Amino acid sequence: MKIFVTVGNTQYNQLIEALDNYVPNDKYEVVIQLADGFYRPKNHQYFRFTQEVQKYYQEADLVVSHAGAGSVFNLLSLNKKLVVVPNFERVDDHQLDLANFIDKNRYACVCFDLTNILSCINKAYSNDFESYQYQSFSGFEQINELLLTNRICRENNNVGGISVDLFKDTQQLINHILDDNGNNLSGSAIAINPEKIVKSMQAPLVKEVLLSATIRYPDGIGVVKTLCRKTGETISRIPGVELWEGLMVKSGQVGASVYVVGASEDVISATCDKLKEKYNTPVVGYRNGYFSEDEEFAVIEELAAHKPKIVAVAMGSPKQELFIDKCRQIYPDAFYMGVGGSFDVFTEKVKRAPLVYRRLNLEWFYRVIKEPKRIFRHGNLFRYLYLELVRRL
């Protein structure tokens, strides 16, 4: 059996490794298109890109494809024997949604567990599936309008297995979270920087926390540079402290209630006073960050009782993200944002880097100058730089 494997233009190392380990080369002739993936097959032929993908489709008895809409619907239209594998490294909602759609309608065999890839290949080859009928679509103008007014979608917005949401600027993201009528998006946002990317590659729990967020925005300049390289676009960095303060400004303008959690009692109290005085932000309640795990449920219940639209949590990462996940289970209607040390900066307890450092994307360097011992906390930054240089992100 001739099998052609394609992952489009994004890496999918887990799929390539599974094919290499579970599909024997003495019974199957496998050719793999692996894009910029870093896992190189030991048992099968491979190449990175081709301009003649249709030729490989035609020659193959069966195709294994990631759940990219362009590839999948093209192959269905060609009536190819097909195994669809949603990209678990990207974990894009649209890939999983498409895979479920294909599975539900029995258009092809869908592999949700890579250890079963060989049985899925055999099932797809030996069984008949429903014939897919192409339906013309005329909604491209509406889609284009949504893309222009909402988040920017890019095929290569994946960094180290974490898909990052791209926005034109901070204000566009603020408007996406909170509209002019005071209606909020339900969910959460997490700032993505090099340290978090490296930690997510080292610890499954950290990766799970990052992927649980509704929005993952680029806050670290290293992540921004990687995204610029992969998308070929100019990507805007969105500093978390500016995103949070911008949300507080808009909350005051549209009357969206806010609840804040974290920091010391004096800092969070001063934060609330300054928000009300400076931006007219309707802060409906607050809690300092010094509570035990046994007190968490009571804190969350108190928060939920106020029914806030925006909740800011300043407890450091990943503690704040884990707390947010618990909050969302009890009170899912708010938009949650982990803000790290933003309250300290806002109340001027900690001085933010001067504007010249910010414009040069050297805030991290300024912090090292102020606190030299911080240099030992930047080991993951150098690991990230290495991974970027060898194109493993």
- Distance, CA of 331 to chain centre: 22
pLDDT at position 138: 47
Q: Strand 2-6's sheet: what is its strand order? A: 45-47, 29-33, 2-6, 62-66, 82-85, 109-110
Type of residue found at 204? P
Tokens 């968490």 correspond to: 296
State the burial class of residue 181 (Cβ atoms within 10 Å of its Cβ: 0-12, 13-18, 19+): exposed
How do beta strands 158-159 and 162-163 pair?
antiparallel
Mapped onto helix, strand or coil, the DSSP state of residue 373 is: helix
Cβ count within 10 A of residue 40: 12
Select from 228, 245, 253, 277 the least CA-distant residue to 343: 245
**What's the rounded Cα separation, in Å, for the pair 190 and 133?**
40
From first to last of the 393 residues of the chain, give the pLDDT tens digit.
Answer: 999 999 987 778 889 999 999 999 999 999 999 887 788 899 999 998 887 888 999 999 999 999 888 788 889 888 899 999 998 765 445 777 888 889 988 999 999 899 999 999 999 999 989 888 765 544 545 545 444 444 454 557 889 989 899 888 999 999 999 999 999 998 899 999 998 999 888 888 888 888 888 899 999 889 999 999 988 888 989 999 999 999 999 999 999 999 999 999 999 999 999 999 999 999 999 999 999 989 999 999 999 999 999 999 999 877 898 899 899 989 999 999 999 888 998 998 877 667 766 666 666 666 666 666 655 556 677 889 899 998 888
Residue 5 DSSP one-character state = E
Q: Is the pTM of this model over 0.75?
A: no
Tokens of 72: 């999948």
Residue 189 DSSP one-character state = E
**Do residues 185 and 178 lie in contact, with contact meaning Cβ atoms separated by under 8 Å?**
yes
How do beta strands 310-314 and 335-338 pair?
parallel
- Length of the chain counted residue by residue: 393
Backbone phi and psi for residue 65, each to the nearest 5 degrees, phi listed first: -135, 145
The residues, any chain, with a CB within 8 Å of residue 91's CB and separated by 6 or more, are 161, 163, 211
